[in-house]
């Protein structure tokens, strides 16, 4: 009887510890994948199809919002809808091409920001607890600061694995991106 009572206490505790550790382990594997630019790890811990779909939805909705705010664009009338649809298809094509493990690998090779991350080790594994924010029992997000802006990586439990399925970009991200790119184009001219 005593053994049964102990088992009824220990088993749920072990299940909870395993649950949290599996989420923590997934964040650590993503950290390692980015730091070492490991395509295999990134391919395993990112749900690329869902991530592309979520990014497409985010960008297309924000593109539509921005085009509706722009007075010059409104003056185009029906052509503005055609242009928005065309740009939306271009965005979808770009995301299909570059939002995959090979595209991220190429981006990480060109960008040295990943080297500014702390080297993955036991301390960073356990430190991941501080940046995890559970939304429900099937998802959590981690916050990463880039140029003083918060970017959230959303992890979703798929079976027993945790994978990145979406990225929450900061409000005004497209405006900042548009301004920075337009300034570069103007400075080249």
Sign of CA dihedral 55, 156, 111, 103: negative
pLDDT of residue 49: 92
pLDDT tens digits, one per residue of 81-109: 677 777 788 888 888 888 888 888 877 77
Q: Please tell me whether residue 70 adopts helix, strand or coil conformation.
A: coil
Instruction: Decide if pLDDT at 174 tops 70.
Output: no
Return phi, psi of residue 148, to 5°: 60, 20
pLDDT tens digits, one per residue of 175-184: 665 555 444 4
Instruction: Decide if pLDDT at 145 tops 70.
Output: yes
Average pLDDT, the chain: 81
The residue ranking higher by pLDDT, 165 or 184, is 165
Q: Please tell me whether residue 163 adopts helix, strand or coil conformation.
A: strand
Contacts of 76 (CB under 8 A, 6+ apart): 83
Mean pLDDT of 50-61: 87
User: What is the rounded distance in angstroms from the CA atom of residue 141 to the CA atom of residue 54?
Assistant: 15
Q: Checking DSSP bridges between strand 132-136 and strand 139-146, what pairing results, if any?
A: antiparallel
Mean pLDDT of 113-122: 80
pLDDT of residue 98: 81
Instruction: Decide if pLDDT at 189 tops 50.
Output: no
Q: What whole-number percentage of the chain has pLDDT above 90?
A: 22
Q: What whole-number percentage of the chain has pLDDT above 70?
A: 81
The residue ranking higher by pLDDT, 19 or 144, is 19
* Residue with token string 């722009």: 70
Per-domain residue ranges of the chain: 2-178
Neighbouring CB atoms inside 10 A of 47's CB total 18
Instruction: Decide if pLDDT at 188 tops 50.
Output: no
């Amino acid at each position: 009887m005593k053994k049964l009572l102990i088992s009824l206490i220990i088993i749920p505790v072990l299940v909870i510890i395993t649950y949290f550790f599996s989420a923590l382990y997934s964040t650590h594997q993503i950290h390692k994948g980015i730091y070492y630019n490991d395509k295999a790890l990134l391919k395993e811990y990112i749900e690329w199809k869902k991530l592309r779909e979520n990014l497409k939805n985010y960008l297309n909705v924000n593109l539509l919002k921005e085009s509706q705010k722009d007075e010059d664009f409104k003056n185009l009338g029906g052509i503005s809808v055609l242009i928005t649809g065309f740009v939306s298809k271009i965005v979808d094509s770009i995301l299909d091409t570059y939002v995959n493990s090979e595209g991220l690998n190429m981006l990480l090779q060109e960008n040295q920001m990943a080297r500014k991350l702390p080297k993955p080790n036991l301390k960073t594994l356990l430190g991941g607890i501080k940046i995890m924010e559970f939304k429900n029992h099937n998802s959590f997000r981690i916050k990463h600061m880039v140029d003083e802006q918060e970017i959230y990586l959303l992890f979703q439990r798929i079976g027993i694995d945790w994978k990145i399925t979406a990225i929450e970009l900061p409000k005004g991200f497209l405006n900042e991106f548009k301004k920075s790119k337009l300034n570069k184009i103007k400075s080249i001219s």
